[in-house]
Amino acid sequence: MNASVIGGGSWGSAFAHHLGRNGIRTKLWIREPDIFEAAVRERENPVFLSGFKFPTEVTFHHALGDAARSADIIFLAVPSQFCRKVLLRLAPYLIAGQSVVSLTKGIEKKTLLRMSEVMAEVFGPLASPRIGVLSGPSFSREVAQGHPTALVLASTDLRWARKAQHLLSSPALRVYTSRDLVGVEIAGALKNVIAIAAGINDSLQFGDNARAALMTRGLAEITRLGVKLGAKKETFLGLAGIGDLVLTCTGRLSRNRHVGAELGKGRSLSSIIAGMRMVAEGIATTLSARRLAFREGVEMPIFEQVYQILYHKKEPGKALADLMSRTLKGE
């Protein structure tokens, strides 16, 4: 079995580590020349995943075609706003029988398409690979360390998903299967917005009660939108839903929670972004989620307040007051 991971960020690098430990020959495509050269020289990603030597099964590639050729399964680990551009470059190299799995948690800003929809749209005219999505609570460093992790692999082709489940699972990483592509992708993308709110909450010391309320009511908003888009309600109670939400809202390694915490300290969004080389998907997803909510007629008050804080510099205390003074209703 040969695999390729497209994207040399923290998650792509960590997943290549996992595949290599599983004995799978893996090509890792790294776009940035400095990181590629360091990986070849040191067998480590010093920028996004320092301290971890890649298994010998992992090789490094700067040319996308070289990385994609001969791969039975390709994993896409590129920030959502760059996915289409990379997929258009990748499409000519696909051949019959390949599978492409998205590791990206985001929504395309211009089209509001999920990553599996973008893949289907781009690949359709040239090839028809099996498409899947792998999501769930998974900090990159902990996966690279081999700490116990559970994920969910979603695909409309459940027979293939079960084969891939056995390929990807190990004593340190357990994979479940699902047919609910919509639910898994919406849950994985939108939880990042609630993590920003949780970071603001923690920085302002609003307390554990407030964080628990944000997470619970945030999940209710995500579920409402997901179900309206065709997802199954129970998906949001699983790994891709509440599992990933809990991790991202409480874990110290969460990039999106970090953004919220820095906003709570009074820093501007532009200065926070300027100091980060890794992408916090929740910033762009806030815009996409708001547009989806308006399109679908779904009320999402927490998302609206995060949008106001991020893009209109609303004072977080005022945002909380507006949430707490909304018309009372049943749960």
> pTM for the whole thing?
0.96
What is the pLDDT confidence band of residue 317, given thresholds at 50, 70 and 90?
confident
Cα of first residue to Cα of last residue in the chain, in angstroms, is: 49
Q: What tokens appear for 158 in the block?
A: 């459940």
Residue linked to tokens 């948690």: 105
Q: Is 170 exposed, middle or buried (0-12, 13-18, 19+ CB in 10 A)?
A: middle
Res 95: pLDDT: 86
Secondary structure letter of residue 152 according to DSSP: E
pLDDT in tens, 214-260: 999 999 999 999 999 999 999 999 999 999 999 999 999 999 999 99
| From 53, 85, 163, 191, active-site residue | 191
Helix and strand element counts for the chain (H, E): 15, 8
pLDDT in tens, 267-286: 999 999 999 888 889 999 99
Res 294: pLDDT: 98
CA-derived radius of gyration, the chain: 19
* Cβ neighbours of 40 (radius 10 Å): 13
Query: Could you confirm whether domain 182-324 is CATH 1.10.1370.40?
Result: no
Res 10: pLDDT: 96
- The rounded mean pLDDT for the chain is 95
CA atoms of 199 and 141, how far apart (whole Å): 20
CA atoms of 16 and 11, how far apart (whole Å): 8
105 a catalytic residue? no
Q: Is residue 125 pLDDT above 90, yes or no?
A: no
Helix, strand or coil for residue 155?
coil
CATH 3.40.50.720 range(s) for the chain read: 2-179
Q: Which CATH architecture has domain 2-179?
A: 3-Layer(aba) Sandwich (3.40)
Alpha-carbon separation of residue 219 from 130, 168, 185, 211, 233 (angstroms)? 30, 28, 14, 12, 11
* Cβ neighbours of 213 (radius 10 Å): 16
CA atoms of 254 and 256, how far apart (whole Å): 6
CATH 1.10.1040.10 range(s) for the chain read: 182-324
Q: What percent of the chain has pLDDT over 70?
A: 100
Helices 281-296, 301-312: axis angle to 10 degrees equals: 130
CA atoms of 208 and 202, how far apart (whole Å): 8
Q: Are 149 and 77 in contact (CB under 8 A)?
A: no
